[in-house]
């Protein structure tokens, strides 16, 4: 089912892009193209936007923890 859903979502996006290009709405067609590229990228690599978000949050958390252990409440080392 995962394979069929993947192909169906790309097909729907392709049809949507075609319709938007026919109606000269290039902005929405470009956005749909970017979404399609993201779908293919995340399907092939397994790296999603949620993984990226978790990495960023963990990095910020580690940096804040390091800063708070290095400095006191007045910002003095």
pLDDT tens, 5-17?
889 999 999 999 9
Q: How far is CA 35 from CA 38, 48, 49, 57, 68, in A?
A: 5, 12, 12, 23, 39
- Choose between 24 and 70: higher pLDDT: 24
Q: Are 57 and 51 in contact (CB under 8 A)?
A: no
- What is the model's pLDDT at position 75? 63
User: CA-to-CA distance for 26 and 30, rounded, in angstroms?
Assistant: 6
- Choose between 74 and 19: higher pLDDT: 19
């Amino acid at each position: 089912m995962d394979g069929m859903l993947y192909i169906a979502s790309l097909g729907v996006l392709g049809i949507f892009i075609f319709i938007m290009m026919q109606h000269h709405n290039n902005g929405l067609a470009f956005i749909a193209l970017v979404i399609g590229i993201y779908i293919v990228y995340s399907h092939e690599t397994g790296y999603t936007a949620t993984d990226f978000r978790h990495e960023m949050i963990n990095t910020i958390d580690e940096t804040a923890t390091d800063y708070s252990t290095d400095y006191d409440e007045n910002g003095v080392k």
